[in-house]
Chain A
Amino acid sequence: DVKVTQSSRYLVKRTGEKVFLECVQDMDHENMFWYRQDPGLGLRLIYFSYDVKMKEKGDIPEGYSVSREKKERFSLILESASTNQTSMYLCASLPVQGIRPQHFGDGTRLSIL
């Protein structure tokens, strides 16, 4: 079974702080994704990466950056956290071959005070 692990289940930070959310997958998947999930809006793509050191902006990249130094690890960075970034953040991975479903982590619920 594919396992996608997000380092924190709950996180509370203050406005202006730099925040790191970490995600690790154990199945050697090429593609990794960061989404945020807000009530009534569904999952919205922030950034994705299709290889080490490669990244592509998703639909809502403003205020975020990412890092993929190793294939198994994909980090989401909030450069200067703001209250409107309070949300559930979900990481996912996907192999490059074929059409398949993404595998998700259990999410990090981030609160910015």
Chain B
Amino acid sequence: GESVGLHLPTLSVQEGDNSIINCAYSNSASDYFIWYKQESGKGPQFIIDIRSNMDKRQGQRVTVLLNKTVKHLSLQIAATQPGDSAVYFCAENIPGSSASKIIFGSGTRLSIRP
């Protein structure tokens, strides 16, 4: 399944299936993107990042895809496990003359069906 991470929708997946969480970012000048995982009662935890000169990056069970043409970012989680239940949100880094600006999406809640 897919979901857009702007209005905290919920994505429900079967344990063991792959999850795909999407994010539409705002600025074509953004040069760096980050996915965070936030479990209940905890702060955001870094999962994976990607620079704008790449279109794919893989980690352990996670893959981030970047499509700059349509300003779209996705997070793929392979073989989803109960411990993956959390809110996932993306962030984009917009470079500036004096300082960068980081914009965060509002997130998608991932729930796992046993």
Interface residues of A (CB under 8 A from B): 4, 9, 39-43, 45, 50, 56, 90, 99, 101-107
- Inter-chain CB contacts under 8 Å: number: 42
**14 A–B pairs (Cβ distance < 8 Å), ordered by A:** A9-B41, A40-B7, A40-B8, A40-B106, A42-B104, A42-B105, A42-B106, A43-B104, A99-B31, A101-B36, A101-B91, A104-B45, A105-B43, A107-B43
Q: How far is the CB of B36 from chain A (nearest CB, A)?
A: 8
Contact between chains at B89 and A103 (CB < 8 Å): no
- Pick from A39, A42, A101: contact of B89, CB below 8 A: A42
Interface residues of B (CB under 8 A from A): 7-8, 31-32, 34, 36, 41-46, 49, 51, 89, 91, 93, 99, 102, 104-107
Name which residue of chain A comes closest to B32, CB basis: A99
Taking CB atoms, residues of chain A closer than 8 Å to B51 are 99
Name which residue of chain B comes closest to A94, CB basis: B102
Taking CB atoms, residues of chain A closer than 8 Å to B41 are 9, 106
Name the 3 nearest CB pairs between A and B, nearest first: A104-B43, A42-B106, A43-B104
Asked if A39 meets B8 with Cβ closer than 8 Å, knowing A56-B99, A99-B93, the reply is yes
